[in-house]
A and B are shown apart, each in its own frame.
Chain A
Amino acid sequence: MSSADIYREIILDYYRNPRNYGKIQDPDIAQRDSNPLCGDELEMHLNIKDDKVADVKFTGKGCAISQASASMLTELILGKDFEYVKKLTKEDILDNLGLHDLGPARIKCALLSLKVLKSGLYSYLVDKLHDTASADKIKEESSGLY
């Protein structure tokens, strides 16, 4: 896809004015990851209450795609059922961003946020809910992200 299609107004707006940027004190989920190839960094914090995402924040640095993706993902999941968040796919993220046909190098930027989210859910399921079956399922589903 062309640069004009990638760097639309909405992507630039989320890059420059990220929604839900910041940290949560004592979050239920705190997960950080980076892309060693380009150095993009992302940390996500979530609070889960009554099986819903009660709060979500992110911090990070990186390209417009990775940062807009993270910010738009936080908006997508805020207030949603935990079950819904568990089932999010790569296609959901790219649909949400309106970015399709990104090259192999740049698709990693778009999916870093989902990778961080899924890793966070995995730890939460294992450590706090002791639900290894669901955790393994998430791990398996997200193994193809990178």
Chain B
Amino acid sequence: MQTSFISIENIRNDFPILKRMVHKNKPLVYFDNAATTQKPIQVIEAISNYYLNYNSNIHRAVHELAEEATLAYEATRDKVAKFINVKNREEIIFVRGTTEAINLVAYAWGRQNINKDDIIVTTEYEHHSNIVPWQLLAKEKGAKLEYIGVDDNGELILDHLDTYLKTGKVKIVAFSQMSNVLGTITDSEEIVKRCKAYGARVLIDGAQSVPHLKVDLQKLDCDFFAFSAHKMLGPTGVGVLWAKKELLQEMVPFNGGGDMIREVHKYETTWNDLPYKFEAGTPNIADVIGFAAALDYLNNIGMDKVREHEMELTKYALDKLSQIKGIVLYGPKDVTKRGGVISFNLGDIHPHDLATIVDEDGIAIRSGHHCAQVLMERLDVSATSRASFYIYNTKGEVDVFIRSLNRAKELFKL
């Protein structure tokens, strides 16, 4: 953010957790942002303000607290719609997270629209949350699940998609806009274009992309889009499903209960309007309100600046990392084609051992299969280490990380 009016020091000051020490006296270097990001004080205060001053249930009661809570909850919906450039606010459904959003589509849309021998297409670099719901659906319906492969540069082989589309049996193509392991940014517009030509629906998992890139759903023109608040400064337990109105109207509800009904009689019920048809029960009011503060925070910085900062940091880190002898880096080399997620292996040090060693130096990274075992098989590794950045990370922190990796090499006598 060096080019912005908002300095990185100011940003870091908004995150109380970044001031803490780990392992007694090591400043925290938080490089596990692809798993979840830290929360600025503005988000924490928005949540506590709700509980301290206007905690109440929404939509039903007529008292003042309920009115304030309903307004704040619904204001978040408007902010989300604007953030991803969606015209109709009623197309924004609040769910628990990306996983629930994808399961909702697989259940409520999939069970009505997928039949025997239909094809569901996903990719080799998906998170388990964009594989398992489709496996369940395919098994139930006798449909086929096919995968778009990943090339050696960590990019999708779109020829595979064409092969499947040409069968005329593809009903939906579900893919991640950014890989949570490789950082690869998917050519989403191209995929949507090809799917449209064959009448296949498109679901995009935006869990890794929305926090880091400007996303414009009107331009993308997909059918379903899912993402999570907690990966973009917001609280856990809040996610968004966006879908085209005509699809949401045709779909059956996912959960039955309060708030999603218009009229309930003994043996039949009519559904409430969108989006409430899909928001049964008391939602996660406090955290939805907290999410609005996260969106404000990101808007205040500007998503262009977020991307700029991360590209600069990723380039810096890739340059430094590639100088370490014995390191294997996964994913595209070109930072315009990837986000700030770097997966790697160092010599024969198992990622869990590596994560233990760098943790001792205060650095939080991820190790393991990152809920992407299909991709691990493709890369022919059992696990990788992963460092992932966000707006508050600095080049100084990358230097600390590099020193720590060199210490790991010494410990393992590499």
Contact = CB atoms under 8 A, between A and B. Distances in A.
A37 B371 CA distance: 10
Contacts of A37: 368
Nearest to A64: B353
A109 B411 contact: no
Nearest to A106: B356
Interface in B368-408: 368-369, 373, 376, 382-383, 408
B352 interface: yes
Interface string B350-367: 111100110010000001
By CB atoms of chain A within 10 A, which of B353, B360, B376, B413 has the most?
Answer: B353
B382 A3 contact: no
Interface string A23-42: 00000000000000111110
A64 B376 CA distance: 19
Contacts of A65: 352-353
B350 A63 contact: yes
B412 interface: yes
Interface stretch (A4-12, A77-85, A89-97, A125-133): A4-12
Given A2-B360, A63-B353, A39 B382 contact: yes
B388 to A, nearest CB: 18
Given A38-B383, A39-B369, A106-B356, A12 B412 contact: yes
Contacts of A137: none
B348 interface: yes
A66 to B, nearest CB: 8
Residue picked from B356, B368, B383, most chain A C-beta under 10 Å: B356
Interface in A63-111: 63-65, 106, 109
B412 A7 contact: yes
A16 interface: yes
A88 B352 CA distance: 26
A99 to B, nearest CB: 12
B367 A3 contact: no
A39 B351 CA distance: 11
Nearest to A41: B382
A38 B355 CA distance: 12
A38 B360 contact: no
Contacts of A3: 356-357, 360, 408, 411
Interface of B: 348-353, 356-357, 360, 367-369, 373, 376, 382-383, 408, 411-413
10 contacts: A3-B360, A7-B353, A7-B411, A39-B368, A41-B382, A62-B350, A62-B382, A63-B350, A63-B353, A109-B352
Which 7 pairs between the two chains have the least Cβ-Cβ distance?
Answer: A63-B350, A63-B352, A3-B357, A63-B353, A7-B411, A64-B353, A61-B382
Given A40-B352, A64-B349, 17 more contacts: A3-B408, A3-B411, A12-B412, A12-B413, A38-B352, A38-B367, A38-B383, A39-B373, A39-B376, A61-B382, A62-B352, A63-B351, A63-B353, A64-B353, A106-B352, A106-B356, A109-B352
